[in-house]
Structure 1
Amino acid sequence: MSQVPDNRGLMMYWAFDEGSGARALESVSKTHDDIQYVFKQAEFTEPRDPQWRQGVLGSGLLFDGYSTFVAHRVNTGDSNGEPGFLTALSIGVWVAPRSYEWGEGGKLASIVNRYNMDRKQGYLLGMFRHGSWSFQVGLEGGAWAEIWSPDGCELPKNEWSYVSAVFDGNQGEMKLYLNGSEIASTALPRGSRLTEAVDSDLLIGKNNHSSRLAKAFSLHMFSGIIDELKIYNRVLSAEEVVVAYRHVLDSAHGGVRPSLKYDEIKLDRTPLLSDRHRPQYHVSPPAHWMNEPHAPIYFDGKYHLFYQHNPLGPFFHQIHWGHWVSEDLVHWRDLPVALAPEKDQLAPDGIWSGSATYDADGLPVLFFTAGNDSASPNQSVALARSTYSRDGDPDLVNWVKHPEPLIVQKKGIGAFGDFRDPFVWKDDDGWYALVGSGMEGEGGAALAFASKDMLNWTYKGPLYHADLQKFPYLGPIWELPVLLPLGTDKQGVNKHLLLVSPVGKGADVEVFYWIGRLDKENLSFIPDQEKPQLIDVGDFHFTGPSGMVDPKTGRKIIFTIAQGERTPELEYKSGWAHNGGLPLSVYLRDDGRLGIEPIQELQSLRGEKRLSLRNKSLAETNVRLREVQGDMLEIQLEIEPCSAKRFGIKVRRTPDGEEETQLYYDANQSMLLVDRTKTTLHPGERCGGIQGGKLELPGENLKLHLYLDRSMVEAYANGLKSLTTRVYPSRMDALGLEIWGDGELTVKTLDIWDMQAIW
C-alpha cells in the first residue's frame, strides 16, 4: 500500500476528473473554472465541449495547442493592490506533451503560470524548445530566477511525465524533479521571497504574456494532456515528491509509470467532420495547419504522402512532416508525424519540403530541407531513413535522420541563402537531385546535383533557369522543382515535364511548367518553348507541386496544396487551414500538349447517381437540375455552345441566386473563368472577384469535369486545364446547380454523382 500524499499547504488542486463539460473544479476554493476552447461557440461546425482523455487518475484535459486553456481568479495582495509574498511554493503535475513549440521570443509554452516578467513578479512552469522545461519566479527586490531541465531530461512527446518544481526561499533553493527524481537545483539568496503577480489570473495551458501571431493566435500554449495539478505554499521535500509520484503509480498503474496510447493523444479530426466548409474527400491533416503535400512514394503495396504541418494550430509555424498512407491514392489514413525538429545540429528550426526515393536496397528514403538558424545558410539538404529493415515497420512510421546534411550550399552555387525543396530520383546510373534556388541577378533556377552513392553529391550547375527580363513573373527564386518523364512524342523524342513554383519580389506564385528534353549527361533541360505554361488557372489555389512516377501503373502523378484563402481569424475559428488537391495524372498528348486528368481511382467515391441527361436544351436541363442539391458532388458536363459565347455552370447556388459561383468559358477571349462576386455574403471571407486563364478550344465543345467538396471547387476542362478555387457560402441552402449561357446552347451530356467522404 503506497503512502498517501500530505496535502498540508495545498493552495490549489485541479484533478481534471470531470471527463466531460467545459468547466474544471479547483478543489480547495471549490471554484468551477471555465475551460476556453475554440469550438464551444463554433461558427462552422457543431458546438462541442473541450476534449477530455484518460488521465493518470481518472480523466485528464486535452489542450489543443492554440485555443484550450483554463483561467483561475486568485485574490492576493493587500487592500492597496500591493503584492503579497511567498517564502515557499511547490508545484506537481502530470503532463503528456503532444508537440513542442519553437519558443518565439524566448518564452515558455506554459503548463501553469501567474507572472509578470516586466515587474519581475509571479511564477511560471512551462516547456521550451525540443522538450526542455523550466521553472521561473520573480523575487522581492526585482530579481528573476530561472531553473532549467538539464540535457537528457526533456519531456518526451506522447508519454506521461510527472513534473515537480520547488521554490524554497528560506533555504535559498529552487529544484526540479522529473518522475520523482531530482534533476536540477540552483541556489538563491537565503531568505528570498517570491513576489506574487497581483494583476494576473492564474492560467493553465496558456502563457500570461504570450506573443501574438497574425493578430489571431496566441503562441506559447501547451499541446497535450494535463492531469493532477497541485500547487502548495510550502516546500515539498524530495521524499514527498517521491510519495506523490509513487501514489499514482501504485494506486492506478500496478507500480509502473502510466502508459499512454497514441490514439488517446493524437490530433483528432472528429470535431471537423461536420465543418460545412471542410472538404471530406480531399486529403487533409486531422486538424490544424498544412501547406504543400510532398514526397509521394509507393512501397510494399502502399502509397505514402507527406505534408508540411504545424501540429500546434492552424497557423504557419514550427513545421513538421505530417504523414498519410493509402492503398489506392484515394482513401488515406493519418499516421504520426514522420519528421520533427529536434535538439540537434541538423534541423532544430524546421523540417521543410522535400521528396522521397529509394536507396540501393530499394528501401524508401526521405530527402528534406533542414532548417538550422545557427548555420549560414540556414537551409541544407538532409536525409532520413525508414526503420523498415530493422523492425519491419509496415506503415513506415519511424524515420531516423542521417546526422549531417548531405548537400550544403556554397557561395557561387545559386542564390546564396535560398536553397530548398530537394527533388530526388534514382535510376540505374545513380541518384539525381534538383534544389530550388536562383541565379544571382538572373532569376529562379533549379540547381542540379548527382551522386553515385546517395550520400556524396556533386554540383552540376543549373538544370534550367529562365530569363527574368522576359518573364518577370517567374521571380528571383524557384521552390519545389519537380522533373517527371513523359515518354516519347510522335517523332520519337523523349520528353520530360519540369514544374516550378516562383517566389520572391514580382513572382506569380503558381505552378508553372515546361515540356522539353533532358540532357542527362550535362544535367540540363531544354524546353520546347521558352514561355512557361500553367496547369491551373484558378489564381493561387493550386500550388506547392510534388510528383511521382507510379510504379504500379507507370502514370505520372502530381500532388498540390489547395490554398484555403481565409483570414487568420477564420482559420482560428475553424481549427484548420488548407488541404491537398486531388491527385492528377499528367501525360503527353498526341498534339504535344500536356494532358491532365484526375486519377481514375476517384470513381470509387461515387455514391448515388443523381442525374444523367443527353442532348437537352438549357431550359430542359435546368428543370431537371432542380432535383439536385449538394456540396459533395462529381459532375461531368459537355456543352455545345450554338450561339452562346459565354456559358457554363453555376454551383453552390441559393434558390434565389443571392449566393452562387459561376464557372464558365468565354469563347471570345478563349478563357476558362470563375466568377466569385456572389460566392458569399460572409463579411470575413476573402473569396471574390473573377479569376481564370487561357484555354484554346478551336472547334471543340466545352467538356467540364467538376468536383465539389464543400469549400473546394475543381474544374477540369477538356483534359487541358484545371481551375481550382475556394467557396465559403454563408447560407446553408447554397447547394443548387444551374446551367447558364448568353445564347442558345445544347447540353450534350450531364452526369452527376454524390461523392462519399474518405475519413
Structure 2
Amino acid sequence: MIVKSVMLALTLVGVLGVQGSTGDCPEFPYQPTNYQEDNRGQFHFSSRGGWMNDVNAPLYYRGVYHLYYQHNPHGLAWDTMHWGHPTSTDLVHWRQKPIALEPGVHPGDLWSGGGVVDTGNVTGLKTGDDDPIVVYSGTDGVTVFYSLDGGNTFKSFDNGRKVVKPPAKTSRDPKVFWDPDSRRWGMVVWSDQDGNGVDFYTSTNLLDWSFASRYQGDWLFECPDMVRMPLDGASHWVLSAGSGEYVVGDFDGTTFKTSWPTPQKINQIDTYAGSDYYAALTFANLPANRVVSMAWQGGNHGSTWTGNASFPVEERLKSTPSGPRVLSTPVPEIASLRTSTQSWKNLTLDSAAARRLLAGVTADTYELDAVVDVRQAKQFGFRLHTSPDGWFDKDVVYDASNGLLDGAVMPAHDGKVKLRLLVDRGQLDVFGNDGEVYQSHNVNFDSLPGGDGVELFVDGRIQLESLRLHELGSIWKNRSESTLSTNIAGLWYPASGTWSDVAGGKQGESSGDAFYLSKASGADFTYEGDVKLASGTAAALTFRANKDASKHYTVNLDADAGVVKLWRPGRDIATSPLTVERGRTYHFKVVAQGPSLKVSLDGKQAIDATDTEQSAGQFGVNVFRGTGVFQNLRIS
C-alpha cells in the first residue's frame, strides 16, 4: 500500500499544483449529504465523504477547535493519505473544511502527526496577525508544515527537509508538547529500533530538534501521546500508545521515567488499529490546562464514508489505592445538544417494576445517566433500541456481584454506582463512576421506526436514586458544509446575491449589492477578516447591519474608484486612495467603539471616522457588481 500511495502521490504532482499552493482540488466540495444515512452518527463526527482514520494535530486557536485526520477522499478504504479538516467552536458541532494537507501540494507521505500553535513566534514564521500553526508528519523522519491563516492552509517548511533524521529502523507519528519546567518543546516519535518504543527530541524553536532519550516498551506501538496532567498539587506526565495503553511518570526535560511495571488502559475495550477506539490524541493549546482527547473509531461505515471520531472526552488524573489513573468523561458542551429531558427519582425497583419503568419511552439519539444503589442486586443494566418483539441492539450490564461494568473492573462506592451512556446511530459511549470506566463502541443501532425503545432490567432489587434521559439533537441539523472559517457563532445566511463554498472560503457573486450575514450582532467590537475581489467592482466587510442589510456599515475595496471606502445606505462616510489588485487577498480590521469607526488594511490605518446612524447590528460580508471571496472572519 505504501508503494501504491507514493506512486499516486507522484502522479498527482502535475495535477494538483506546486508545493505550498492549494489548487482547485476535486476533493472539495464533497458530494452532497444530509448526514442522515443509516448508521451515520448524529453527534459523533464523521468525514463528509471518504475514508477516515487516525486523529491528527487536534488544537485550539482563537475560539476555534481544529481536528485534522488521516483521510482518503477518493474511496472508502485506506489509500494515499491526506489530512482531512473539520472545525468547531464548541467541540460538538463540526464543519467540514477543505483538505489541509494533500499529496502533490505537500511533500512526503502525510501520515499521522501532531501540531501546536506557535503563540510566541519562536519559529520566526509569523508575517501577519495570525500566529503560526505548526504541524508535523512523515515516516522515517519528520517533516514540518505551517499555516499563517489560522490553520486552514499549510506550506512546507524548508521544502520538506526532514527536521528529525530517520532512525535506524521504522519511525512515524510525531507528537509535540510543551514542557513548562524546562521551557522547551518536546517531541515524541514512535520507532521500532530494538523493539517498540518512543524517541524523545527537544527544541527551543519548533524547527530544529535534538535527540534527547528513548523509552522502550513492548506495549508502546505507534501513535504516541504525551500530556501533562495535575494531581494532588503536582504535575505528572502521561505517555500513551495508539491502543490507549498508558503509564504515568516524570519528565525532566529530556528523559521520561515511570515506576509502573505494566500500563493501564484509557478505554477498556479491545483496542487495535481499526477497532472502536484507537490513535487518540489530546488537543494542544487548550485554555486553563484543560485536557481533551479524541480517537478514531474504525467500525462505522456507510455507502459514502468509512470511520468516525469518538465523542470528545475530558481527561483527568485521580488518585486510587492502585495509583494514579486517567478518568474520562464527555465534554460538558454536550449539554448544548439536549432537546428534552425525562427524569425519575428515589424508586425501589425489582425486575418487574424496572421493566415497566421505561415501557413508554422511545428515543433515537440520547444521553442516559443513572445513580443506583446495588447492594440488593446481582446485576442491572439497560437494553438499548428495543422493539416490541423483544429484540434489542445492545445491552450494558453492571455485574454487582463481581463489581464489573461490561467486563471492566468498577467497584461500587458506598453501595452505589454511576452509569452514563451516549447512544448515537452508529456509536455507544459507556462511562462508569464519573470516568473510572470508559468504553466506546461502534454499534449499528436500528434507526427504523419501532425499534427505538429503552429498557431497564434488574436481577434482584435496586434503589434508583436518579435516572435522566436527555434526547440529543443532531450536530448536522440546519448546518450545511461551509469553507468559511469564523468564530462568529450565529447562523449565517444569504440576504441577497449568490453565495457558495470554494476552497478559499465563502464566495459571493452579484450584478448589484449582495450580502451574506450572521445572525450574531454586536455594538462595540473589533471585526477583521480576509477579503479578495476576484473580479468586478468591490468586495467588503459589513457590520452593524439589520437582518436584510437595508441598514448597515460596509468597508470595501473599490477597484473601479481606486479607494478603500466606508459607507452606509445614503452616505459615503470616508475614503482612502488605494490601487486595488483583483485576485489579491487583503486583511481588514474594523474597530467600532460607539460612533468611532476605525479601519486598518493589512496592518495600516486607512480610515478614522465617526457616524451615529447605527449603534449595533449584525456582522457580514458584501460584494458589489462582481465576485468576492471571504475568509477568517473574527470578532473580539
Preserved contact between residue 351 and residue 368 of structure 1 (Cα < 8 Å): no
Q: In structure 1, what is the equivalent of residue 509 of structure 2?
A: none
Q: RMSD of the alignment, in Å?
A: 3.0
Q: In structure 1, what is the equivalent of residue 263 of structure 2?
A: 532
Q: Deviations over 1:261-285 (max 9, x none)?
A: xxxx5014525x2212110111221
**Alpha-carbon distance, 1:339 to partner:** 0.7
Identity %: 24
Distance 1:152 1:398 in 2: 14
Q: In structure 2, what is the equivalent of residue 751 of structure 1?
A: 468
Structure 1 residues 308-317 or 733-742, which shifts more? 733-742
The structure-2 alpha-carbon separation of the partners of 1:657 and 1:715, relative to structure 1 and needing over 3 Å to count, comes to same
Distance 2:22 2:251 in 1: 47
Preserved contact between residue 323 and residue 334 of structure 1 (Cα < 8 Å): yes
**1:552 partner amino acid:** P
Q: In structure 1, what is the equivalent of residue 430 of structure 2?
A: 715
Q: Select the residue among 559, 566, 580 that pairs with 2:294.
A: 559
**2:223 partner amino acid:** L
**1:752 partner amino acid:** L
Corresponding residue SS for 2:161: coil
The structure-2 alpha-carbon separation of the partners of 1:628 and 1:384, relative to structure 1 and needing over 3 Å to count, comes to same
The structure-2 alpha-carbon separation of the partners of 1:457 and 1:549, relative to structure 1 and needing over 3 Å to count, comes to closer
Q: Select the residue among 66, 82, 87 that pairs with 1:325.
A: 87
Corresponding residue SS for 1:602: helix
Q: Select the residue among 29, 36, 39 that pairs with 1:266.
A: 29
**1:736 partner amino acid:** G
**Residues 622-641 of structure 1: pairs in structure 2 closer than 5 A:** 622-641=355-374
The structure-2 alpha-carbon separation of the partners of 1:538 and 1:654, relative to structure 1 and needing over 3 Å to count, comes to farther
**Alpha-carbon distance, 1:550 to partner:** 5.3
**Residues 693-732 of structure 1: pairs in structure 2 closer than 5 A:** 693-697=408-412, 699-719=414-434, 720-729=436-445, 732=448
Q: In structure 2, what is the equivalent of residue 400 of structure 1?
A: 155
**Alpha-carbon distance, 1:294 to partner:** 2.4
The structure-2 alpha-carbon separation of the partners of 1:575 and 1:409, relative to structure 1 and needing over 3 Å to count, comes to same
Q: Deviations over 1:625-652 (max 9, x none)?
A: 1222122001011222233222211112
Q: In structure 1, what is the equivalent of residue 249 of structure 2?
A: 516
**Alpha-carbon distance, 1:706 to partner:** 0.7
Distance 2:285 2:327 in 1: 17
Corresponding residue SS for 2:341: strand
The structure-2 alpha-carbon separation of the partners of 1:535 and 1:426, relative to structure 1 and needing over 3 Å to count, comes to closer
Distance 1:653 1:421 in 2: 44
Preserved contact between residue 518 and residue 524 of structure 1 (Cα < 8 Å): yes
The structure-2 alpha-carbon separation of the partners of 1:384 and 1:632, relative to structure 1 and needing over 3 Å to count, comes to same
**1:352 partner amino acid:** S
TM-score by length of structure 2 reads: 0.66
Corresponding residue SS for 1:604: helix
Distance 2:398 2:325 in 1: 20
Q: Deviations over 1:518-576 (max 9, x none)?
A: 222xx2222252221112123231211100355333211111112216xxxxx4x5221
**Residues 294-443 of structure 1: pairs in structure 2 closer than 5 A:** 294-342=56-104, 346-347=107-108, 349-358=109-118, 360-361=120-121, 363-370=131-138, 379-388=140-149, 395-402=150-157, 403-412=159-168, 416-425=169-178, 427=180, 429-440=183-194, 443=195
Distance 1:364 1:152 in 2: 21
Distance 1:562 1:549 in 2: 21
**1:532 partner amino acid:** P
Distance 1:384 1:105 in 2: 20
Distance 2:249 2:13 in 1: 48
The structure-2 alpha-carbon separation of the partners of 1:697 and 1:641, relative to structure 1 and needing over 3 Å to count, comes to closer
**Alpha-carbon distance, 1:338 to partner:** 0.7
Preserved contact between residue 176 and residue 185 of structure 2 (Cα < 8 Å): no
The structure-2 alpha-carbon separation of the partners of 1:528 and 1:577, relative to structure 1 and needing over 3 Å to count, comes to same
Q: In structure 2, what is the equivalent of residue 452 of structure 1?
A: 204
Q: Select the residue among 394, 397, 404 that pairs with 1:664.
A: 397
Preserved contact between residue 185 and residue 203 of structure 2 (Cα < 8 Å): yes
Distance 2:386 2:442 in 1: 14
Q: Select the residue among 625, 644, 650 that pairs with 2:377.
A: 644
**Alpha-carbon distance, 1:698 to partner:** 5.3
Aligned: 1:735 with 2:448:
no
Aligned: 1:545 with 2:280:
yes
Q: In structure 2, what is the equivalent of residue 506 of structure 1?
A: none
Q: In structure 1, what is the equivalent of residue 347 of structure 2?
A: 615
**Alpha-carbon distance, 1:731 to partner:** 7.5
The structure-2 alpha-carbon separation of the partners of 1:299 and 1:411, relative to structure 1 and needing over 3 Å to count, comes to closer
> Which ranges in structure 2 are unaligned for 5 or more consecutive residues?
123-130, 477-636
Q: In structure 1, what is the equivalent of residue 24 of structure 2?
A: 158
**Larger Rg: 1 or 2?**
1
Q: In structure 2, what is the equivalent of residue 479 of structure 1?
A: 222
Distance 1:299 1:583 in 2: 17
Preserved contact between residue 537 and residue 672 of structure 1 (Cα < 8 Å): no
Q: Deviations over 1:422-449 (max 9, x none)?
A: 3343647232111112341xx4212100
**Residues 153-192 of structure 1: pairs in structure 2 closer than 5 A:** 157-158=23-24
Preserved contact between residue 175 and residue 226 of structure 2 (Cα < 8 Å): no
Distance 1:353 1:315 in 2: 20
The structure-2 alpha-carbon separation of the partners of 1:648 and 1:361, relative to structure 1 and needing over 3 Å to count, comes to same
Distance 1:694 1:580 in 2: 26
**1:604 partner amino acid:** S
**Alpha-carbon distance, 1:410 to partner:** 4.2
Aligned: 1:130 with 2:19:
no
The structure-2 alpha-carbon separation of the partners of 1:366 and 1:564, relative to structure 1 and needing over 3 Å to count, comes to farther
TM-score by length of structure 1 reads: 0.56
Corresponding residue SS for 1:655: coil
**1:407 partner amino acid:** V
Preserved contact between residue 611 and residue 628 of structure 1 (Cα < 8 Å): no
The structure with higher relative contact order (CA 8 Å, sep 6+) is 2
Preserved contact between residue 131 and residue 156 of structure 1 (Cα < 8 Å): no
Q: In structure 2, what is the equivalent of residue 686 of structure 1?
A: none
> Which ranges in structure 1 are unaligned for 5 or more consecutive residues?
1-100, 109-126, 134-148, 160-222, 225-264, 372-378, 389-394, 469-473, 502-509, 566-570, 674-691
**2:472 partner amino acid:** M
Preserved contact between residue 102 and residue 129 of structure 1 (Cα < 8 Å): no
Distance 1:105 1:643 in 2: 59
Distance 2:340 2:413 in 1: 35
The structure-2 alpha-carbon separation of the partners of 1:712 and 1:152, relative to structure 1 and needing over 3 Å to count, comes to closer
**Alpha-carbon distance, 1:411 to partner:** 4.4
Q: Number of paired residues?
A: 455
**1:419 partner amino acid:** R
Preserved contact between residue 290 and residue 579 of structure 1 (Cα < 8 Å): yes
The structure-2 alpha-carbon separation of the partners of 1:754 and 1:460, relative to structure 1 and needing over 3 Å to count, comes to same
Distance 1:600 1:106 in 2: 42
Structure (1/2) with the larger strand percentage: 2
Q: In structure 1, what is the equivalent of residue 490 of structure 2?
A: none
The structure-2 alpha-carbon separation of the partners of 1:643 and 1:559, relative to structure 1 and needing over 3 Å to count, comes to same
